[in-house]
Amino acid sequence: MKQGFKPDVIGNEGWFYSEKVKDHFFNPRNIFKSKAEAKKYKADGIGTIGSPICGDVMKLWIKVDKKTDRIKECKFQTFGCASAIASTSMLTVMATEKGGMKLDKALKLTPKDIMERLGGLPERKVHCSVLGDKALREAINDYFRKTRQFERISGEGTKIIDKALKITNKDIEEAVLEGAKTFEEIQKMTKIGIQDKNCIPETKRLIKYYREKHFGKN
Ligand code: FES
């Protein structure tokens, strides 16, 4: 085993990739190899997400078995890096294996679940794995919209935390995914709390929450 790689951790501190990550990068499952292939695909739902951190884009298509409410097929294309390709490839496998995942369960899939199956990702690359699960949620919501199941559409709300600079919980989440671990680090990146000091306790609570959500630790 290479020094620095710990398969039992979610986002490891090193730069080493697990054998599974390498396998899914070199042989991605369910990826469209051409624009033409994607164009003629008849999807029930499509989700597109861009990363505010690196600017990369992920597009994901699903087919749904309407009787069982399970994902029958899940395909993707991305401009993202090796980590984005490997983690989304694994995500498509998880969504479609064993007869397909129920939509309600698929909406709750997290980057942590994907990384567990991959044997971890370097901590600085965790934000790449978020693209796939966000795009999957968009695709499922798109399917709900198209089939007029509006009451099932889900999404995490955006809340303004720093009232002076209009910094939201999503900005804090992105900063954590970028690698910030402490309030001081987030303040350096976003200037949060410099004018609106009242937001400091809530920001600290959110840093803890997002560290736990994406890395399984504080
Ligand atoms: S997806 Fe942009 S760096 Fe990985």
Please give the CATH architecture assigned to the domain spanning 160-215.
Orthogonal Bundle (1.10)
DSSP-assigned letters across all residues of 63-85:
EEETTTTEEEEEEEEES--HHHH
What is the pLDDT confidence band of residue 2, given thresholds at 50, 70 and 90? very low
| Closest ligand 1 atom to 54 CA | 2
Q: What is the pLDDT of residues 178-209, one digit of tens each?
A: 889 999 999 988 889 998 999 999 999 999 98
The whole-number average pLDDT for the span 69-94 is: 95
Q: What is the pLDDT of residues 22-59, one digit of tens each?
A: 999 999 999 999 989 999 999 999 999 887 667 788 99
Write down the domain spans for the chain: 11-152, 160-215
- What pLDDT is recorded for position 168? 83
The pTM score is: 0.72
Half-sphere exposure of 19 (CA within 13 A, CB side): 2
Q: What is the pLDDT of residues 115-128, one digit of tens each?
A: 899 988 887 787 78
- What pLDDT is recorded for position 5? 37
CATH topology of domain 11-152: Sufe protein. Chain: A (3.90.1010)
Helix (H) / strand (E) containing 122: strand 121-122
Q: Is the shortest distance between the CB of 164 and ligand 1 below 6 Å?
A: no
| Closest ligand 1 atom to 84 CA | 1
Instruction: Pull the structure tokens for residue 114.
Output: 């994907």
First-to-last alpha carbon distance for the chain, in angstroms, is 26
Which stretches of 74-125 are DSSP H helices?
Answer: 82-96, 103-106, 111-118
Q: Is the shortest distance between the CB of 165 and ligand 1 below 6 Å?
A: no
Q: What is the pLDDT of residues 89-110, one digit of tens each?
A: 999 999 999 999 999 999 989 8
- Catalytic residue ranges: 54, 128
Q: CA 116, CA 73: separation in Å to the nearest integer?
A: 22
On whether the CB atoms of residues 183 and 203 are closer than 8 A, the answer is yes
- What pLDDT is recorded for position 72? 98
The whole-number average pLDDT for the span 164-180 is: 85
Does pLDDT of 7 surpass 90?
no
Q: Is the shortest distance between the CB of 86 and ligand 1 below 6 Å?
A: no
Does pLDDT of 157 surpass 50?
yes
